[in-house]
Amino acid sequence: MDFERENLSDTVAVVRGVGRLNMVSAPHLREAVASAIADGRAQVVVDLSGVEFMDSSGLGALVGCLKTTRQAGGDLRIAAPSDQVTMVLQLSNLDRILTSYASPEVAYRD
Amino acid sequence: MTDFVLVLDSPTDDINTVHNFIENVWESNPELDAMDRLRFETALIELAANVIQHGGKGGSIVATVSLSIDDDVIRGQIVDQSEAGAVELGLREMPDEYAESGRGIAFIQRLVDVLHYERNGGDNLWMIEKRRTHA
């Protein structure tokens, strides 16, 4: 699975991919978020609407990306997680620190 | 009881091979509860990822993944011949929210009813079981 980046504004970028976020694709997510930060957009929303499955490797990549965006003065938010992704977020208590939004467009309205 | 078997030959095969195998099993067993499937698949993928990551010397490993479904239980088994791992299967605490690894076994323990490991001759044998939910 590859990730694409779309710039929502001068400071906000959406990263999205279709498929499974696992030990194979997790490094690609890290690269996509690092590229957004390097491009001056440290406010990142990961659109999970196309992610049918996430395992602990994928979750680890999300946590890593959350930390790198915050270190760069931004934040990482997620949009439209599937039932399986929501289950994994709850199981790991990550739902406490990763705020989920209905769509990428509303993630940075505040 | 229905049995399904996959011979996983990594690195030619990877974790997506296991996903495709499980998806085929679900397609031929559409009567399974959706949440049972989600929990079992997540646990089996964590187990397979663990075997692929920690089992292979020089990055290669051959493992047999089998899955069986009966009226009460979905059972998964992974057998490989790599060195015995120092596996601590006491109940794992969930790592803190900011940890980037170390959740695999803790996930499995919370997703299914049984997680079992044994060394049998030169084999590592991993087994998980999820009791089925009946409407």
Confidence of residue B87 (pLDDT cuts 50, 70, 90): low
Q: Are A51 and A21 in contact (CB under 8 A)?
A: yes
Contact A93 B94 (CB under 8 A): yes
Contact B107 A97 (CB under 8 A): no
pLDDT of B86 over the 80 cut: no
Confidence of residue B1 (pLDDT cuts 50, 70, 90): low
Query: Which residues from B are below 8 Å from A when comparing CB atoms?
Result: 14-16, 19, 34, 38-39, 41-42, 45-46, 49, 52-53, 94-95, 97-101, 103-104, 107, 110-111
CB nearest B104 (choices: A53, A56, A96): A56
Determine what percent of chain B is predicted with pLDDT higher than 70.
93
Q: Across-strand partners of B2?
A: B69
Confidence of residue A76 (pLDDT cuts 50, 70, 90): very high
> Average per-residue pLDDT in chain B?
90
- Quote the minimal CA–CA distance from B116 to chain A in Å: 20
The mean per-residue pLDDT over the stretch B24-35 comes to 95
pLDDT of A27 over the 80 cut: yes
The mean per-residue pLDDT over the stretch A24-30 comes to 95
Determine what percent of chain A is predicted with pLDDT higher than 70.
100
Closest residue of A to B14, CA-based?
A24
ipTM of the complex: 0.91
Contact B100 A84 (CB under 8 A): no
Q: What is the pLDDT of residue B135?
A: 65
Reported pTM? 0.93
Q: Does the bond joining B95 to the residue before it have cis omega, within 30 degrees of 0?
A: no
Confidence of residue B58 (pLDDT cuts 50, 70, 90): low
**pLDDT (tens digit per residue) in B60-80:** 889 999 999 999 999 999 999
Q: What is the pLDDT of residue A51?
A: 97
Tokens of A40: 């001056």
Contact A60 B103 (CB under 8 A): yes
Contact A56 B41 (CB under 8 A): no
How far is Cα A27 from Cα A1, in angstroms, rounded to an integer? 10
Q: In 10 A of CB B104, how many CB atoms?
A: 21
Contact B49 A55 (CB under 8 A): yes
